[in-house]
Amino acid sequence: GLELSHCVGTNSLGPAGPWRSGGPCKMKRVRTVFKPEQLERLEQEFLKQQYMVGTERVDLAATLHLTETQVKVWFQNRRIKWRKQSMEQKAAKLSQFGVIQPASADSTDGKDHEEDTVDVEL
């Protein structure tokens, strides 16, 4: 589930959600650390399909002892990494052939902004 760092020095009733905007205690979610076996299986599934939805995601999460949200976010982040690698490979090929890229080649297009890197659990 959701792991939060401990609140030190207060006796609050707890946060309303994973993050507190005010008050003496700020809770911060601890980043999920995947086991090598989990990462290997997630990568295998990503090679088959870049989008995992519905019962497939639920089943994979259960198999890997992860939450569905953890699997969803991992796939979102992996797609971003994949797109970035694809852009870098295209840029390398173009530079190999002496094609000069416009200054905006490093910026991402509007589609990539839909799925900015997310490391959030609900």
Q: HSE (CB half, 13 Å, CA atoms) of 24?
A: 7
- Fold exhibited by the domain 36-94: Arc Repressor Mutant, subunit A (1.10.10)
pLDDT at res. 96: 82
Confidence of residue 29 (pLDDT cuts 50, 70, 90): confident
Q: What is the pTM of this model?
A: 0.60
Confidence of residue 114 (pLDDT cuts 50, 70, 90): very low
Distance of alpha carbon 122 from alpha carbon 118, whole angstroms: 12
The domain segmentation of the chain, as residue ranges, is 36-94
